[in-house]
Structure 1
Amino acid sequence: MSPSTPRRGGRRERPAVTIVSPHYDDAPLSLGQSLLDGALSRCRVRVEVVFGRSNFTRWFHPTRGRAVPVTAWRRSEEALAQASFGYRVGTAPWEEIVLRTGQLDADQLLDADAELDEQLVGDLAAWMRRLRGSGAVVLVPAGIGDHLDHRLVAEAGRRLAAEHADRIGFYEDRPYASLVGADVVADQVRALRPDLVPVDVSGPVGERLHRLLRRCYPSQVDELFVGAMDADRASGARERVWFADGEVPSWLQLGASP
């Protein structure tokens, strides 16, 4: 029996999982089907939003003066998602990149060669180390698509996995992973750690998931998101999490008993 599934009163408790979400929407976008009826639906899930100060919407160019009301709006969207997908949520105080820089140019936001802020990576790794100390499995974005905020979190997760791979997994960031080939996804994930292996944590993603995402996140779901959703349904895509070889929790695999 896994150490994170102790028996209490003769019953086995549901395993604890913490999903590290760069922004308010990333956890259900990337792992929503699993939360609804896959492996994560059998777990006690907490989502920790890293960049809790936000001012991005698809409707207008963000400014620092709009950060407070937009952050409140994004939190209200996340509250609806929390109720819809069945997880608890916490937020950290860091600013997302469009607040830190005022930059909206996609070529810069998604620049794979942009240098990472070493101080911020170190702060994120220290914060995530405390999350891991709770005993939960910690799922971290793999940085697919090269969004700078995702890359920062992925690098912090890579450092934790280098210290000790137990209970650290990497999930495929959607919508980005939906729009590139499986070989690109595998290459980007294994750039974090060569021995990572994938495990399906959901069945094929479906229309119910995508209806919920559109309802929960109206400020974010634009043509890119819709195109990614269409591509996932057409291909029968399944959500996956990558662990170091030999470190995949048996209860996280689809069909296993928690």
Structure 2
Amino acid sequence: MPLSEAGFRPFAAAGVPVSFVAISPHLDDAVMSVGATLHALARAGHEVIVATVFAGDPPPEISKVARQFHLECGLPDDQAMALRREEDRRALTALGCQPLHLDLRDAIYRRDQSGGWQCRHDRAMFDDNPPAEPDVESLSLDLVREIVDSVAGRGSVGGLLTCAGIGGHIDHRLTTRAVTKIGAGRHIPILRWEDLPYACGTDPIAATDSPTTILSAPDQIDWRAKATAVQCYTSQLDMLWPQQESGWSALLEHGQARGKQAPVEIWWRG
């Protein structure tokens, strides 16, 4: 089923290629959440750029939380992000998208204003009131602005794509706030995706019963491309789904549950 028949309509004239800029918090978020839609957009002739905000290398000294994360992912401390960036390049190549890796550090690698670790326990990144990070907020805003202005300077931007912030991870919240400000200031349409795997198992009515909801139902070729792309994130799959044989199966089952048969990916306008 073509995207135009599935409720997801690129904000551009029919048949006119444009650029879509996806701003992803982390190196697997965009692909796991909406990889089939990204592939469908690229297959339709649009330029799709996936910029990951928090893709920078960790500092020489890392926290216990970061070290435990590396252990669960099977990543060496000194190469963790380099290996993850390579996974992301392979995944986005499989989707026909262009990767762009920004150099801000993941929350598990950052220090707060007092000099302590931003994440002092393994759920700290989900705290309702984490320590303020004014420098990180302003830097993320500046980086997103630079990317959007660079792309807009050479052609039409059909839309800014980003996470909805489901799950409450601080990096997701920072990302969606930055995109909101930049999109509003430049009058560029914003589409927010359902954050996966955070939304897996959540109420389908809450996700789909909204006037701003878009159900994207790409073709099977797009879902096959997403499956290939997701499997590129080998360091993340066992960590995210330690009790399941296949993380991809969990994502596909979620899409089928949302679509009540044929799989869909969920977006919201604005």
The correspondence for 2:166, drawn from 144, 151, 169, is 144
Distance 1:97 1:87, change over 3 A: same
Deviations 1:166-207 (A, max 9, x none): 3322222111122312355479xx9xxxxx812233348897
Aligned mate of 1:75, from 53, 60, 85:
85
Q: Distance in 2 between matches of 1:18 and 1:180?
A: 27
User: CA offset at residue 15 of structure 1?
Assistant: 1.6
Aligned residue in 1 for 2:232: 216
Candidates 101, 119, 139, aligned match of 2:135: 119
- SS of 2:123's partner is helix
Per the normalisation by structure 2, the TM-score is 0.70
Q: 1:80–1:234: structure 2 CA closer, same or farther, 3 Å change rule?
A: same
CA apart distance, 1:223: 6.3
RCO higher in structure (CA 8 A, sep ≥6)? 2
Q: 181, 200, 205: which one pairs with 2:215?
A: 200
Structure 1 residue corresponding to 2:54, chosen from 40, 51, 65: 51
Q: Which deviates more, 204-213 or 76-85? A: 204-213
**2:181 is the counterpart of 1:159:** yes
| Distance (Å, rounded) in 1 between the aligned partners of 2:140 and 2:80 | 23
- The answer to whether the Cα contact below 8 Å between 1:201 and 1:239 also exists between their aligned partners in 2 is yes
Who is 2:33 aligned against?
Answer: 30
* Aligned partners of 2:92 and 2:229 also within 8 Å: no
Q: Aligned residue for 2:19?
A: 16
Match of 2:202 in 1: 180
Determine the C-alpha separation between the residues in 2 that align with 1:116 and 1:40.
37
Q: How many residues end up aligned between the 2 structures?
A: 227
Q: CA deviation at 1:162?
A: 4.3
Is the CA contact 2:42–2:95 (under 8 Å) kept in the aligned structure 1?
A: no
Percent identity (aligned)? 23
**Which has a greater percent of strand?**
1
5+ long unaligned stretches in structure 2: 1-9, 59-65, 112-116, 242-246
Q: Which amino acid aligns with 1:199?
A: I
1:97 aligns with 2:97: no
The answer on whether the counterparts of 1:30 and 1:173 sit within 8 Å (CA) in structure 2 is: yes
Q: Tell me, in whole angstroms, the C-alpha distance in 2 between the residues paired with 1:106 and 1:98.
A: 9
**SS, match of residue 66 in structure 1:** coil
